[in-house]
Structure 1
Amino acid sequence: MTSRLRGRSELFLLVGPPGSGKRTVGLELARLTGAALLDNHLINDPIFAAFGADGVRPLPPEVWTYTRQVRDVVLSAVAHAPREVGHIFTMYLGRGEQEEAFVGRFRALAAARGAHFVPVWLDCGAEELARRMDRPERRERLKLRDPAALRRLLDEMGQQPAPAGALHLNTAELSPADAALLIASHSGALFRRG
């Protein structure tokens, strides 16, 4: 697909608050580029399910210890995957040192793989995010569904500032397909398709 013909891949990092459309945009981007989508819920859901998460009740803090372990295994697998395979990661990053380290870790992983690192920050207004909380797919995927909890999260954690060179997209103003097309074009992935 994307860069398999040229032996170069992308590592896309889609960052945005809950409800900003990270997975939906990621699915479209995977379709366009052939990169593997490693959505944050692919990593989180087995742990969330083990703890009986319902998207409304708060999760106990130890959940994040286990999700970090799963993420470490996934990142190790990506480090050893064929170099021509691209990857799309999605996540929410609040402000703080640990979150800053996440971006550095993905940047280093891309460099180690000889991949082009493409950070993308997805924005969406608070009112639109709250409206999106009741979508059926959020319940099915154990995602946060409580608008009040979302507001508390955003008030307490905010969103980590984007690194230099990141692409900023407002998903309230773009369809997922259009957002994916902008990301693929920005990365140059479309021009490497054969």
Structure 2
Amino acid sequence: MGHLYYLAGPPASGKRTVGKALSALTGAALLDNHLWNDPIFRAYGADGISPLPAQVFELAEAVRQLSLKALIMAPRGHSHVLTNYLSDSPGAAGAVEQLRGIAADRGAVFVPVWLSCPVDQLAQRVVRPERQERLKLRDPVQLRDLLIRRGNLSAPPDAIRIDTSQVEPSDAALLIVSHAGALF
């Protein structure tokens, strides 16, 4: 039986890092949010510092939806790890329910994972040079503003919650597969 692991958390909370550890542990395909964001961000000329217009995010969402169509077509036994930042805004909970529905349609176990980290640590992480390669947000002022203005979507009741300031990525991956009952 396949699993659909959904890692949600603020920028710099370690979604991709934990996702890579989870993928290595389970063999699940990692589809992190920058997989569909980066082609659009790169074409636009994003630098991770300058704010992006809403239209750029709309285009990235269109690429995300096409990627989800491919995921739906994947063989039933295949597992996937998806990552995303979900603000506390109208429609954000719909993204969770969309993936929950996709997992159900595929006969996969849906595993929501909510990552957190203190804002001061997020601000320290966001400036790391490796974030530039993936065109990720790299301005601590913008990060703080984003979290104040948009917040984080509350975790659904069935989510496992992990504070990435307290747990190494490999240990987080073990917690996730244990929670999902996916240990070999």
Q: TM-score with structure 1 length normalisation?
A: 0.94
SS in 2 for 1:88: strand
The one of 96, 114, 122 equivalent to 1:121 is 114
2:153 maps to 160
Letter in 1 for 2:65: D
1:67 maps to 60
Q: How many percent identity over aligned positions?
A: 54
Count of aligned residue pairs for this structure pair: 184
The one of 131, 134, 143 equivalent to 2:127 is 134
Q: Out of 62-71 and 20-29, give the one that drifted further.
A: 62-71
CA distance in 2, matches of 1:65, 1:131: 28
Letter in 2 for 1:82: P
1:182 maps to 175
Deviations 1:41-74 (A, max 9, x none): 0010000001100000000110111111101111
The one of 32, 38, 57 equivalent to 1:39 is 32
The one of 42, 51, 56 equivalent to 2:44 is 51
CA distance in 2, matches of 1:144, 1:97: 22
The one of 154, 162, 165 equivalent to 1:169 is 162
The one of 60, 81, 90 equivalent to 1:88 is 81
Deviations 1:6-50 (A, max 9, x none): xx0000000000000000000000001110000000010000001
Offset at residue 97 of structure 1 (A): 2.1
Letter in 2 for 1:30: S
Deviations 1:92-144 (A, max 9, x none): 00012210110000000000000000000000000000000111110111000
1:22 maps to 15
* CA RMSD across the alignment: 0.6
Give the unaligned 5+ runs of structure 2: none
CA distance in 2, matches of 1:12, 1:57: 31
Q: TM-score with structure 2 length normalisation?
A: 0.99
Give the unaligned 5+ runs of structure 1: 1-7
Which 4+ residue blocks in structure 1 deviate beyond 6 angstroms? none
SS in 1 for 2:4: strand
